[in-house]
Amino acid sequence: MLGKKIAEANQLPFMNALTPEKLTEILIDFPQALIFWDADHPFALQEGHARSIQAMAQVLASKTQPSKVFAITDKPLNLNQELSEIGCFGHHVFRRYPDPATEIFTKLLGAALVSYPLGVERYMPADAKARTILLKETKHKGPAIQAIQNILLKGGTPDRLCTQVVGALDEILINAIFTAPLDEDGAPTRKHLDRSTPLLLEGKHQIEITVSTSPLYSSICVADQFGSLKKDVLLSFIRQNFASSGFKLDPTQAGLGLNGIMQSGLSLLFISRPKVRTEVIIFVPRVENFKDFRNSFRFLSLLSE
């Protein structure tokens, strides 16, 4: 059990709630509690499964904040009909968490207890080495991605995984350059521009890219200075099934690339402080091959309004 393992590793108390009534009791007594919710636990896969999910969700929605709730499942959210309509959790964890999952989730737990926990360094081990690139022109995006790819490959990241990571990085950068910028009234200023448009990235439009490496895992953080990413928008992308025949892709819409990233198997953390800063962090496990990556930790965390 992930919650119990993390509690023991950090010498924290652990409580178990199998009913909505018990969960209510715990959250009344301990309003700052962090919740690991087995949202598709086999125990609940009986008649009334959907009702049991809704009952727990109602307690979570009324008694705590989404940033403190980690929903654990075997399937992606867009394939889980009951959970896909529930917004009471801010984190989704796949039910596989070999090391260093305990260390990463411990850091996420700490972040869940503060407002706007920005700064990629708080999510990395103390011995991590970081390099930051400041993107000032769109034409520098390709060379920046290549430099980060070289760092990952030099650190032993498998070729196939590295290709997946830099593809995700490219999509996140496109989102930061073209979708994040808003005017003073909150209207997008670059959303409908062709993605190949050359632009100077001056002032608030500059993008920070930080790659951090450690013996346990690496991360890549893309930060913009607009803080325009919304949690409900991200959740709507997760819920959509892009394979369905009824879903039409619109290349001008923001977040379509992010949707693909969120369903790619990569672990992602989105942090946004409105009108100040958004950080999107990709976590890359230290593995020998792509098969090991598919069996490694996987999560999606949203710490934004």
Q: Name the residue type at position 282.
A: I
User: Can you give the pLDDT at residue 253?
Assistant: 41
When pLDDT is cut at 50, 70 and 90, the band that residue 241 belongs to is: very low
Per-residue confidence (pLDDT) for residue 188, from 0 to 100: 93
pLDDT (average), residues 254-279: 78
- Sequence-distant (≥ 6) Cβ neighbours of residue 5 within 8 angstroms: 102
Buried b (16+ CB within 10 A) or exposed e, 77-115: bbebeebbebbbbbbbbbeebeebbbbbbbebbebbeee
Read off the pTM.
0.89
Please compute Rg for the chain using Cα positions. Answer: 19
The DSSP annotation for 108-164 comes to HHHHHTSSS---GGGGS-TT-EEEEEEE-BGGGHHHHHHHHHHHHHHTT--HHHHHH
Domain edges within the chain:
2-95, 122-303
Tokens of 149: 């790819």
Q: What would the CATH number be for the domain defined by 2-95?
A: 3.40.50
Report helix angle 159-174 to 141-154, nearest 10. 150
For strand 69-73 and strand 35-38, is the pairing parallel, antiparallel, or unpaired?
Answer: parallel
The residue with greater pLDDT, 119 or 231, is 119
Judged against a pLDDT cut of 60, whether residue 247 lies above it is answered with no
Identify the pLDDT of residue 96.
86
Pairing label, strands 91-94, 69-73? parallel
pLDDT confidence band for 304 (50 / 70 / 90): confident
What band does 233 get if pLDDT is binned at 50, 70 and 90?
confident
What CATH code would you report for 122-303?
3.30.565.10
For residues 290 and 263, which has the higher predicted lDDT (pLDDT)? 290
Residue % of the chain over a pLDDT of 90? 56
Which pair of structure tokens corresponds to residue 50? 């959907």
pLDDT (mean) for 258-282 = 85
